Structure 1
Amino acid sequence: MRIPALPPQLRLSADGPVATLVVDRPDRLNAFTLQMWAALPEAAAAVEEDPEVRVLVIRGPSGGPFSTGADIDEFTTVRREPADAQAYTEVVQRAEAAVSGLSKPVVALIEGWCVGGGCQLALACDVRVAADGASFGITPAKLGIVYPLASTARLVHTVGHATARFLLMTGEVVDAQRALRMGLVDEVCSPHAVRRRAYALARMLAGRAPISVAGAKALIDRVLAGQESDDAWTRELYAASYHSPEYAEGVAAFGERRVPDFRDCAWPSLGRVEA
């Protein structure tokens, strides 16, 4: 895997088909600096470009935290003027878009605090697995900040408008079990099992048919963008799947009563076609 030049607080590595991005700034509870936000698109591009990698796991150090969001201490310098604040927001939005825009699935392994921009980052992932004891909050109401529309839309699509109103307007921090009930996370595990479960899930995703996983992600994005009827692109995707090596292997494996092996099936180049 090509490892880009990243800030020392971000570490990217790969173990077979599973890549891991570790956010490691424990002295600041994994708060993101502007430099760290700006580096996320390059990390995501490295994952996208590697033909061997099929899943990305984003996590903090062992035991957490995941991230407490933006480093507020920077705001007096990097967000001093309105133009600076706008530029900062655009950097964060590009970082979120780079993660959510991966054609490959992204798993957030959440331990400890997952607050503010940390929650934004987790919501940009496809699957969120949390340790019991993790804490979640979206806190712009405590800072006099209004969330960008794209981030707000992602939250609404994930938890619904009523829960989004509660989280954004109150800024209240909720525990992992309540986050699970809200739909903010997909699974909650005991602290000693959460890492094992997240990586087992990542390996499961890596073993599924690439055209099915990438196709599902692209189609879901189109539905979220408002498309509900087929067009030429979706019909082409359906046709491609029925002529794919994944389909041939899946049908053969079913007939032979064995587990399908998709390792020789290349990750498809579906692009990020907008509806």
Structure 2
Amino acid sequence: MSEQVLVETADRIRTIRFNRPTKKNALTQDMYDAAAEALESADTDPSVRVSIITGTDGVFTAGNDIVDFTQRPPDFNEHDVPPVRRFMLALLNAQKPVVAAVDGLAIGIGVTLLLHCDLVVASDRAVFKTPFVDLALAPEFASSQLMPRIFGHAVAAELLLLGETWDATRARETGLVNRVTEPGKLDETARFIAAILAAKAPTSLKASKALMRQPVESIEDRMDRENAIFASQLQSPEFAEAAAAFLERRAPDFDKLG
């Protein structure tokens, strides 16, 4: 792992921390590779139930390192997957929940990656900006589709066309952020949320996330898809433990199921 991306796993939670504060955590291709590796391995590591993506004190990430990208521009047509695309695919396809904890600057991909996390916590000093047009570029990470869908076209245009800066309050109002807290309580809040997720039935949690990420389909088709998973879960050890815990008036313990 890169020293500029710190990875720690404890209490079933993997923390992936951008750690390049002297450059405002601007992301290099090496950092993308390291973050992608951490996400990919989390999906196959039974000791990990949830991942947290965060930055350092006062800085989430200033986005792509412009110098690194101009010197080594990613070729999205090459046979090998560029590191930035590897990271995008790792986050997009993450089977287990991902929580983002944002303090201070979140610029460019520091904003668009949040669209692919399951829950986002921000400090009250967080700021969000996507200056793609200002840099004569175009939106990325499917933000041109997801932002209008989530926020509505007019609100998405504030970020993607005007390049406006949102504070934490505006981000919470639009639905980009789930919760806002004091900077000193950000890590604690993110880990609290992650711990709640980590205690839930892992197979059920992954299935629910996968359903929420499915492309739009007819209501009947979605019902059929849900019902098939629901029926399967009824026969699972997880449901047996949840039902027993309910009847015994205790918290379920899914760790004992392996």
The alignment's TM-score, normalised by the length of structure 1, stands at 0.85
Specify the SS of the correspondent of 1:261: coil
- Provide the identity percentage: 36
2:232 corresponds to 1:237: no
In structure 2, the CA distance between the partners of 1:149 and 1:47, relative to structure 1 (3 Å rule), is closer
Contact in 2 for aligned 1:132/1:189 (Cα 8 Å) = yes
Residue of structure 2 equivalent to 1:67: 61
Counterpart CA distance in 2 for 1:247 and 1:19 is: 25
Q: Which amino acid aligns with 2:64?
A: A
Tell me, yes or no, if structure 1 residue 44 matches structure 2 residue 36: no
1:30 is displaced (CA, Å) by: 0.4
**Is structure 2 residue 129 aligned with structure 1 residue 108?**
no
CA shift for structure 1 position 151: 3.3
SS where residue 45 of structure 1 aligns? helix
Residue in structure 2 matching 1:77, options 67, 71, 83: 71
1:8 aligned onto 2:3: yes
CA offset digits 1:121-168 (Å, max 9, x no partner) = 222211100001110111101101112372322333433333212210
Is 1:30 matched up with 2:25? yes
Contact 2:28–2:69, Cα closer than 8 Å, also in 1: no
Q: Residue in 1 aligned with 2:196?
A: 204
1:253 to 222, 233, 245: 245
Partners of 1:240 and 1:183 lie apart in 2 by 32
8 Å Cα contact 1:97-1:124 kept in structure 2: no
Normalised by the length of structure 2, the TM-score is 0.90
Query: Where in structure 2 are there 5+ consecutive unaligned residues?
Result: none
Partner of 2:153: 161
Give the corresponding residue for 2:216. 226
The CA deviation at 1:171 is: 0.8
Letter of the aligned partner of 2:44 in structure 1?
E
Contact 1:78 1:85 in 2 (8 A): no
Q: CA RMSD in A?
A: 2.2
Q: Which segments of 5 or more consecutive residues in structure 1 lack a partner in the other structure?
A: 1-5, 267-275
Q: What's the offset of the Cα at 1:232?
A: 6.9
Q: Could you tell me how far apart the structure 2 residues matched to 1:85 and 1:49 are?
A: 26
Tell me, yes or no, if the aligned pair for 1:124 and 1:154 is still in contact at 8 Å. Answer: no
Shift of 1:26: 0.3
**What secondary structure is seen at the aligned counterpart in 1 of 2:14?**
strand
Residue aligning to 1:271? none
Note if contact 2:109-2:140 (Cα within 8 Å) is conserved in structure 1.
Answer: no
